[in-house]
A = this chain, B = another copy of it.
Amino acid sequence: MAEMQEMPGHLARRFQQIAVAVFLSEVEAAGFDLTPVQYAALAAIAANPAIDQITLAGLIAYDRTTITGVIDRLAQKGLVVRQASARDRRSRELLITDEGRRALDAITPAVEAAQRLMVRGLTKAETNELIRLMQKAIAAGNDLSRAPLREGTAER
């Protein structure tokens, strides 16, 4: 374990580093300017209209304090709107705009290309196995981070 190259933690950092670089590169080549985090938030808002920020954070496993800035930037780009909830005046309902929907549709092929590119060194079977193992490790460690994934989508 003394070798850094065999430590899961180091490999996790490195793989994530490459994944982000590939994502940004593919998305920019497609003519868009969205980060992985912004894309995931936009996609989740599209699939869950009027979701509040805390629930959204749980869906994509973001820290609640991170989501504020992410939504700020999506709103500033005109891709989502943040409106006060009538039911609970503390919360903001998030909605994707028409422009956001168009951007999401247009960008998705680049995102999928990025997913393939970041595992280009692996066979299809190896890729599936990597996905399975990461899912399993993540499921076991879900509650160890401050921003665990939370199921229970829209029914709040």
Q: At the interface, yes or no: A126 with Cβ under 8 Å from chain B?
A: yes
At the interface, yes or no: A86 with Cβ under 8 Å from chain B?
no
Which of A48-56, A71-79, A130-138 is the contact stretch?
A: A130-138
Q: Which of A119-134 contact B (CB under 8 A)?
A: 119-122, 126-127, 129-131, 133-134
Chain B nearest CB, measured from A55 CB (Å): 15
Besides the contacts A9-B20, A17-B147, what 14 more A-B pairs have beta carbons closer than 8 Å? Answer: A5-B135, A9-B114, A9-B118, A11-B135, A12-B134, A15-B16, A15-B134, A15-B138, A17-B145, A18-B141, A18-B142, A117-B144, A118-B141, A118-B144
Contact sample, A vs B, 17 pairs, CB 8 Å cutoff = A4-B40, A4-B43, A4-B44, A7-B115, A8-B118, A9-B20, A9-B118, A11-B134, A13-B19, A15-B15, A15-B137, A17-B61, A17-B145, A21-B144, A22-B144, A121-B137, A121-B139
